[in-house]
């Protein structure tokens, strides 16, 4: 089987194996077991299985044991968002977005394509944003809204209407930013 996904998390498992958490284009979290990933340059060479990478994977599902993790056979890099790794603050924000998405997504559950597009557009926008704190707030707000858990927050309407690419065009006072940020932090504690 073939699937495209954004790598959310990579967990070492034994000497050369990895467990990969990814978000597929349908907004569902998928977990794969990559046997020999740290040794195989042909199937997974060049650090392809890294968080933030957008990849296409080939995998196999066991019909004998459906509850077993899908076995990753091969991966092809589609986008690596190279500018994220040129600046620590940009990489830190990207990893924060991945961690939140991983924490808020359930394996196999189709949340929505919106979550996938939000994450991908945010990773691309992080590469060039001149206001990372506002972009962080914007991502968190939209992610909670896509989960259906966002109550009314005074002053957040303009952020909700704008795409993450347009975050720098949204004008917030310091007071509004602080208010929205404290409400978002409170909501994120539920996850």
The domain that contains 141 carries what CATH number? Answer: 1.20.1440.120
Answer yes or no: do 49 and 95 share one domain. no
Q: Can you tell me the distance from the alpha carbon of 111 to that of 146, in angstroms, rounded to the nearest whole number?
A: 8
**Domain-terminating residue out of 82, 98, 119:** 82
Same domain, 65 and 35: yes
Of 82, 100, 115, the residue that ends a domain is: 82
| Percent of the chain at pLDDT exceeding 90 | 73
Q: What is the pTM of this model?
A: 0.92
Coil, strand, or helix at residue 72? strand
**pLDDT at residue number 121:** 97
pLDDT at 72: 92
Distances (CA, A) of 145 to 41, 51, 53, 162: 40, 24, 24, 13
Hey, what are 179's tokens? 């208010």
User: What is the overall mean pLDDT for the chain?
Assistant: 91
Residue 14 is part of which domain span? Answer: 2-82
pLDDT tens per residue, range 133-155: 999 999 999 999 998 889 999 99
């Amino acid at each position: 089987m073939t699937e495209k996904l954004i790598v959310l998390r990579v967990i070492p498992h034994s000497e050369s194996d990895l467990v990969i958490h990814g978000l597929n284009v349908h907004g569902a979290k998928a977990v794969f077991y990559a046997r020999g990933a740290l040794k195989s340059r042909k199937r997974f060479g060049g650090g392809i299985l890294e968080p933030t990478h957008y990849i296409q994977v080939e995998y196999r599902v066991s019909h004998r044991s459906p509850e077993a993790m899908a076995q990753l056979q091969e991966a092809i890099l589609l986008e690596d968002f190279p500018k994220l790794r040129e600046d620590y603050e940009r990489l830190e924000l990207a990893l924060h977005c991945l961690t939140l998405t991983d924490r808020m997504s359930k394996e196999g559950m189709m949340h929505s394509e919106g979550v996938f597009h939000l994450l991908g557009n945010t990773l691309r926008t992080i590469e060039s944003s001149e206001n990372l704190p506002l972009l962080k707030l914007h991502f968190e707000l939209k992610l909670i809204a896509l989960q259906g858990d966002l109550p009314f927050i005074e002053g957040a309407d303009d952020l909700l209407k704008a795409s993450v690419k347009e975050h720098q065009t949204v004008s917030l006072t310091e007071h509004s930013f602080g208010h929205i940020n404290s409400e978002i932090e409170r909501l994120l504690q539920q996850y």
